[in-house]
Amino acid sequence: MNIPTKVVITGAGATSPYGAGVTALWEGLKSGRGCMHPVEALQSLPMVKTKVAATVPDIDYSYIPRRDRRSMSRMALYAYAAAKEALLQAGYEKAPQGLGFFMGSTLNSISKWMEITGYCHGNHLELVKTSDFLQIMNHSPLATVSQALKINGPCVGASDACATGLMNIGLAYLAVKAGFVKQALCGGTEEYHPMFSACFDIMQATSYNFNDKPNEACRPFDANRTGLVASEGCGLLFVESEESAKARGAKILAEIIGFSSNTETENMAYPSAQTLRECMQNALADAHIEPQAVDLLNAHATGTIIGDIAESQAAQTVFGSGVKINSLKGHLGHSMGASGGLETIACLKMLEEGVLLPTQNLEKLDERCAPLSYVRTQEQRPVNIIVKNSFAIGGNNCTAVLRSPL
């Protein structure tokens, strides 16, 4: 009888509004320090109600060779830094032979697209450089980072809006489990542009009633929430078979024991509680665990009215009212394609340190949200299994199940 391949995580890398590296991310989250701020470009747009975002601070990327850096957009720079960190933690100075790479983003570089659009309007297309084009390809970060780091295995870039990061982690999990690859980098990246805020504002899905208090603007499950705060960054994991990790003596950070994905077909913008319930139930079935074994549900919960209600109702149906649940969007904002990767890294740290982070700015629970055990203050307790959700506009949903190393 064939023994199923176990898939483990041995490395992680992050670029976030808290700065460069996993340590900066985790210290920022644990401290509850705010990273949201007014966006100058939004102040002059009276029709856009939201005025705040969370962006990556200035980071020195000069260590990246210029021949590689000149073809990289901001989100590719974020991804290079995160990939390098994940590789190093996994024990590699250079990418191992045949390494897979699963990474995407919601959109490519809007900043670069706007620059090229300016050339078009002025009838100066001859000014477009090869490096400009390389920055606006749909798989630009995946391509430029794999070239720079000599990642020569299969490179696959799923783009599933807000579910992108976790979807690519799930694809890597499935690829390792099936023997398609032995090791892989996986996650998502994103760069902020005011267009993100404007588009979600049109859909009435942004936070606008705390513009004067940016760090209180994103309020998952809170009665006074009005929507999300756009953000950016990159979160990547190094995953491999347990056999591979043990053979080379790598430290195992966690095991991915289950994954599921499904699609909402009734509404492009908001998933139903039923679809979300099925996604979580299928992930638990893939993990071969019962709902009561879960120590924490790390919700997608972005702070939108309908989305938070639906997810909480689905969670109650699957886990019952006693499940511990939190969202990290109140800390980080919604980094779109990067959110699944960054938040999964936070889940790894919660497993490692035995701590549950609170949902920032959850002061008064919306009575329409299901009565769950919402984490409101930092809790120190044994944490063995975490379920992680990511749901996307367009109907793409996914759930992963993480377990502490046995």
CATH code where residue 218 lies: 3.40.47.10
| Domain identity same for 208 and 357 | no
> pLDDT at position 123, please?
66
- What does pLDDT average to over the chain? 95
The HSE-up count of residue 256 (CA atoms within 13 Å, CB side) is: 31
| Domain identity same for 287 and 210 | no
Strands 36-38 and 155-156: unpaired
CA distance 272 to 375: 24
Do 321 and 370 contact (CB within 8 A), yes or no? yes
At 275-309, the pLDDT tens digits run 999 999 999 999 999 999 999 999 999 999 999 99
CA distance 100 to 185: 6
| Domain identity same for 16 and 160 | yes
Region 11-26: what's the mean pLDDT? 98
| Domain identity same for 230 and 297 | no
Other C-beta atoms closer than 10 Å to the C-beta of 128 total 14
In the predicted model, is pLDDT for residue 156 greater than 90?
Answer: yes
pTM of the model: 0.96
Does residue 311 lie within any of the structural domains?
yes
The range of the structural domain enclosing residue 66 comes to 7-247
> pLDDT at position 124, please?
72
Domain count, the chain: 2
| Domain identity same for 233 and 127 | yes
> pLDDT at position 115, please?
81
In the predicted model, is pLDDT for residue 253 greater than 50?
Answer: yes
In the predicted model, is pLDDT for residue 53 greater than 50?
Answer: yes
At 342-392, the pLDDT tens digits run 999 999 999 999 999 999 999 999 999 999 999 999 999 999 999 999 999
Q: Which residues contact 159 (CB under 8 A, 6 or more apart)?
A: 104, 105, 106, 138, 337
| Domain identity same for 128 and 219 | yes
Percent of the chain having pLDDT more than 90? 89
Other C-beta atoms closer than 10 Å to the C-beta of 233 total 34
At 163-178, the pLDDT tens digits run 999 999 999 999 999 9
User: Helix or strand or coil: residue 140?
Assistant: helix
Question: Which position among 155, 218, 234, 300 bears the catalytic label?
Answer: 300
CA distance 378 to 69: 40
CA distance 391 to 340: 9
140: left (phi over 0), alpha (psi -120 to 50) or beta: alpha
Question: Which position among 35, 334, 347, 369 bears the catalytic label?
Answer: 334
| Domain identity same for 72 and 121 | yes
| Domain identity same for 88 and 226 | yes
> pLDDT at position 337, please?
97
Residue 273's pLDDT band, with cuts at 50, 70 and 90, is very high
| Domain identity same for 281 and 395 | yes
Active site residue 218: no
What would the two tokens of residue 255 be?
A: 């095991």
Select from 194, 218, 247 the last residue of a domain. 247
| Domain identity same for 133 and 78 | yes
In the predicted model, is pLDDT for residue 77 greater than 70?
Answer: yes
> pLDDT at position 126, please?
72
Region 307-335: what's the mean pLDDT? 98
> pLDDT at position 343, please?
98
Percent of the chain having pLDDT more than 70? 98
| Domain identity same for 105 and 225 | yes
CA distance 152 to 155: 8
Indicate the DSSP class of residue 222. B
| Domain identity same for 264 and 399 | yes
Q: Comparing C-alpha atoms, which of 300, 279, 296, 290 is closest to residue 374?
A: 296
Question: Which position among 35, 162, 279, 369 bears the catalytic label?
Answer: 162
Active site residue 121: no
Q: Comparing C-alpha atoms, which of 151, 170, 167 is closest to residue 159?
A: 167
> pLDDT at position 87, please?
98
At 198-226, the pLDDT tens digits run 999 999 999 999 999 999 999 999 999 99
Active site residue 162: yes
In the predicted model, is pLDDT for residue 248 greater than 80?
Answer: yes
CA distance 165 to 201: 23
Other C-beta atoms closer than 10 Å to the C-beta of 77 total 23
In the predicted model, is pLDDT for residue 145 greater than 50?
Answer: yes
C-alpha distance from residue 366 to each of 101, 219, 287, 303, 311 (Å): 40, 10, 31, 11, 13
What would the two tokens of residue 120 be?
A: 């078009």
Region 310-335: what's the mean pLDDT? 98
At 115-143, the pLDDT tens digits run 877 766 766 777 777 877 888 888 999 99
Residue 2's pLDDT band, with cuts at 50, 70 and 90, is low
